[in-house]
Amino acid sequence: MSLQYSKLTPDTPAPSEFPPPGTPDIEIARSVQPQSILLLAQQRFGLPAESLVPFGHYKAKLDMAYVDTSDSAPRGKLVLVTAITPTPAGEGKTTTSVGLNDGFNRLGVRSSVCLREPSLGPCFGMKGGAAGGGRAQVIPMEDINLHFNGDFHAITSAHNLLASLIDNHIHWGNEAGLDPRYISWRRVMDITDRSLRNMVCGLGGAAHGVPRETGFDITVSSEIMAILCLADGRADLKQRLGNIIVGRRSDMSPVTVRDLGVEGSLTVLLKEALQPNLVQSLEHNPVFIHGGPFANIAHGCNSVTATRAALALNDVVVTEAGFGADLGAEKFIDIKCRHTGLRPDAAVVVCTIRALKMQGGIPRSQLGIPDLAALRKGAANLERHIRNLQQFGLTPVVCINRFPDDTEEEMALVQSISEELGVRAVPADHWATGGEGATELAQAVLDQMDEGKPEVKFLYEDSLPLAEKIRTIATRIYHAGSVEFTTIAKRQLEEYESLGFGHLPVCIAKTQYSFSVDSSVKGAPSGHMLPVREVRLAAGAGFVVAVCGDIMTMPGLPRRPAALDIALDENGLVVGLT
């Protein structure tokens, strides 16, 4: 029996209204006049103006008191968008998420997309913006990429307030008995600065605090960021904040935020940040953008609050998980779904011909040249991700995000390989033509959901020891041959289990560019070793982080950062943001 949806009459700009191909993303975004966010919420969701807290005319926060997210309320279908292993050639996962949502709405399906907020670090560093691309973008693009509605500033402030309160607690007598040598709570900022990774604070004499080693991480790696995105309301937020372990006493017993009595202050700083943000696509379809935990350091998904709000207001909700399916989709299911009871009704794996050829060993400069042999070799990466998703009980739809120089023979080869694995591959042109270019993909996803709700399975049980959970992910998802724990990592795992945290899921922190920890190894390697150098307990967020290889929680800037191209023109408009 076919699923029934609320039919819309789409009000979308025709492709001819957009600038020609080759126009920078920021100019395409500016070519469309956004609709009033209050009017959009009223027309699409029936929400009154007082349900929104506007940030100007085109952005707002949603007051969750106006949204019924109870178990008895109607809830839409959830579509998870993930991708093959990232390459410099680009895969377009966010662009596809936006385009797919526009495609659903073109078909008359009431749909919204839920995305993460961009971090200033990647925006001014390696990656640039993260609001989609071409004719599948979210607007106002500059605001979304730069500060947005203040959520990251609130998280940074709450995190650093806690750091300040810890040092102040020690300065005024240290009633909790914190050992300065074992304080694990560092400071954060939302830019990349390798010079701040390791430092000493409290220098200058007794009036300036107790000297100790510390450092800075990037805001999106903060446990408070993960907590905000997993919290299910204010009470749960405060409870999780109180559970944060900030350090140890000399007898190695943990000291929590609740022991310091400051969870209330942190909650106050995050009161508005907990509310999801509502914006729109170029085709005036609703978009929720909220939270932004790193996918290779944390769980890499938008907030539970935004997801629940969107599901309560729509028949279909598109959401994405960071990086490739080995990091993003695995954590989406094993962490976010495990914590919340949410389950995806369908999945989409995004790939490009160019990226698959790069996975097959072709240099970036030659990706425009047809090469079926390299494409077939690189498709092993796509096959690995498909089979991984099938382990979770999902039959994904493959989206071939089309580039202008892709040939019909190359498209047909990817479709044939996908069919051999029992999945459908659909070319999509949303980058070039917006939602119109994603209607076939949207229909394929609807067809997949018509086949029935999948029985989503976790990769491991809660009762499995932490080390075995790590081995399970390493062997079944990364196809590693072995896992090696340092002496420190082994001791940390034993300690966390003795403290009663052995039931938590694990979050693997590793490079996103390979199934192994060596970012230069492409394709679908097998038999490699996963080295776990340390294990961190995120007791408030509710997972244990296994830090593998040389992954950093404070990235560095590249030789030529994107910041060199970003400026204001003579009219005060942002240029160079992509």
Annotated binding-site ranges: 87-94
- Strands, E assignment, 339-444: 346-351, 397-401, 425-428
- In whole angstroms, give the CA distance from residue 77 to residue 315: 6
Q: Which residue has the tokens 């998280």?
A: 155
Catalytic residue among 29, 83, 231, 295: 295
217 near 199, Cβ under 8 Å? no
Amino acid symbol at 470: I
Catalytic residue among 323, 332, 485, 501: 323
For this structure, is 93 an active site residue?
yes
For this structure, is 127 an active site residue?
yes
Contacts of 69 (CB under 8 A, 6+ apart): 308, 309, 311, 312
For this structure, is 124 an active site residue?
no
Q: Which residue has the tokens 């190695």?
A: 252
For this structure, is 323 an active site residue?
yes
- In whole angstroms, give the CA distance from residue 406 to residue 234: 49
- If you ran DSSP here, which 8-state letter would residue 290 be given? -
Complete DSSP assignment for 205-272 = SGGG---EEE-EEEGGG-HHHHHHHH--SHHHHHHHHHH-EEEEETT--EEEHHHHT-HHHHHHHTTT
Strands 178-183 and 254-256 come out as: unpaired
Catalytic residue among 44, 59, 75, 116: 116
For this structure, is 295 an active site residue?
yes
- In whole angstroms, give the CA distance from residue 516 to residue 534: 17
The residue among 280, 229, 274 whose CA lies nearest residue 56 is 280
538 near 509, Cβ under 8 Å? no
Catalytic residue among 44, 61, 77, 93: 93
Tokens read off for 133: 């691309």
- Show binding-site residues for ATP: 87-94
Neighbours of 12 (CB within 10 A): 17
277 near 148, Cβ under 8 Å? yes
Catalytic residue among 127, 387, 424, 533: 127
223 near 263, Cβ under 8 Å? no
For this structure, is 152 an active site residue?
no
- In whole angstroms, give the CA distance from residue 191 to residue 555: 9
Catalytic residue among 45, 288, 431, 543: 431
Catalytic residue among 124, 392, 403, 543: 403
Q: Give catalytic residues, as residue numbers.
A: 93, 95, 116, 127, 295, 323, 403, 431
